[in-house]
């Protein structure tokens, strides 16, 4: 099993700053929940009672905090069961950690549905059968990290490993379980690029029937980021720029995907696109746009390993072709939404 643990010099300092306030503060927040909801309701009465934005965001925040609290407590219990971490890499320990991680994700998804009226419409979920698979997912908001979990929900036998941006280590549960399970927190501006790519590739070791999930755009798209990214591609890779006419997606950063494909040549590629999370890219935009106005559309495509070229240039051309296909699908979905 690949070991995604990455020893960061500030890991324990970060945990000392975040974990005690969370463990001590969440019970207090739960006790104060009636007061918080009354205050939120007053804000809504004064600003916009029809959408209940303050009440909904308060409920979502409380649910998320409670899920984090239970995740840390479960992590403490598992630490004891594994004899202070000595048995952490045993199969039964990994299985229990994956089970807690799935329940944490489901709790977040349930909170999105309960408080923000989020719902999903998935097409192509049948393409996510047994692995090995490398999942390339769109990244457009704070919430869309749950999309692979939505798609994998009908396949509990598939364990997902993740390539995550290093900033997510500030989420206590993602930090804890992300380091105990085979994941990698990647520095998006690494000083040692080869070392980062080697750590990503290691996630594909002994993949078996499991999946590796990567968000190959690297960050949320914005008009400014899209403009900079396409100018960079045009300057450095003019042939690639000619085949890409992206309107919604950032071009794929191919390093991580290529590293995974080379490490797991028998793995199929799965692409996951979605439409509906775009208004939720920041705390301010979440407050401004809740609740969800319509179901989130999710589409899944699968490319067999036999169809993936061996050479890096041909491989990138195939990835770009499917990424452009995803962008076109998003555009078509958007057009259908606004059509009379």
Residue 254: per-residue pLDDT: 92
Strand partners of residue 303: 269
**From residue 2, how far is each of 186, 190, 202, 263 by CA, in Å?**
15, 21, 6, 11
Report pLDDT for 1: 40
Q: What's the pLDDT score for residue 2?
A: 42
Helix (H, G, I), strand (E, B) or coil at 6: coil
Task: Supply the pTM of this predicted model.
Answer: 0.90
Q: Give CA–CA dist 138/179, Å, rounded.
A: 23
User: Residues 301, 289, 167, 149: what is their CA dihedral angle, to the nearest 10 degrees?
Assistant: -30
Summarised one tens digit per residue, pLDDT across range 263-315 is: 999 999 999 999 999 888 888 888 888 999 889 999 999 999 999 999 999 99
- What's the pLDDT tens digit per position in 164-179? 988 899 999 999 999 9
Give Cα separations from 260 to 60, 161, 247, 310 (angstroms).
35, 12, 27, 13
User: What is the radius of gyration, based on Cα positions, of the chain?
Assistant: 21
What is the predicted pLDDT for the residue at 340?
54
Residue 154 is predicted with a pLDDT of 76
- Given the DSSP bridges, would you call strands 296-303 and 268-275 parallel, antiparallel or unpaired? antiparallel
Nearest by Cα to 214 from 310, 320, 274, 139:
139
Q: Residues of the chain whose pLDDT is less than 50?
A: 1-9
Identify the sign of the CA torsion 161, 163, 166, 171. Answer: negative
- Give the pLDDT of residue 338: 59
3-state secondary structure of 268: strand
């Amino acid at each position: 099993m690949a070991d995604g643990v990455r020893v960061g010099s500030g890991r324990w300092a970060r945990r000392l700053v975040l974990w005690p306030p969370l463990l001590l503060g969440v019970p207090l927040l739960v006790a104060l929940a009636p007061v918080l909801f009354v205050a939120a309701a007053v804000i809504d009465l004064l600003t916009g009672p029809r959408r209940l934005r303050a009440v909904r965001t308060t409920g979502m925040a409380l649910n998320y905090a409670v899920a984090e609290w239970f995740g840390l407590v479960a992590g403490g219990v598992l630490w004891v069961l594994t004899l202070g971490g000595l048995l952490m890499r045993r199969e039964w320990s990994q299985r229990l950690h994956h089970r807690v991680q799935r329940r944490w994700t489901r709790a977040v998804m349930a909170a999105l549905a309960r408080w923000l009226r989020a719902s999903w419409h998935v097409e192509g979920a049948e393409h996510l059968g047994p692995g090995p698979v490398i999942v390339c997912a769109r990244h457009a908001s704070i919430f869309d990290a749950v999309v692979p979990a939505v798609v994998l929900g009908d396949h509990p036998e598939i364990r997902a490993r993740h390539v995550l941006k290093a900033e997510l280590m500030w989420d206590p549960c993602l930090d804890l379980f992300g380091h105990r399970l085979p994941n990698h927190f990647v520095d998006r501006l690494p000083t040692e690029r080869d070392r980062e790519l080697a750590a990503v590739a290691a996630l594909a070791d002994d993949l078996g029937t499991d999946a590796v999930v990567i968000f190959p755009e690297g960050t949320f798209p914005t008009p400014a980021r899209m403009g900079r990214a396409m100018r960079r591609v045009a300057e450095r890779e003019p042939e690639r720029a000619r085949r890409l006419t992206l309107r919604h997606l950032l071009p794929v950063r191919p390093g991580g995907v290529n590293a995974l494909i080379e490490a797991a040549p028998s793995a199929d590629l799965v692409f996951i696109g979605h439409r509906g999370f775009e208004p939720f890219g920041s705390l301010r935009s979440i407050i401004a746009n809740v609740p969800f106005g319509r179901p989130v559309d999710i589409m899944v495509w699968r490319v067999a390993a036999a169809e993936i070229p061996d050479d890096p240039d041909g491989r990138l051309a195939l990835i770009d072709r499917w990424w452009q296909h995803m962008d076109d699908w998003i555009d078509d979905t958007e057009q259908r939404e606004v059509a009379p």
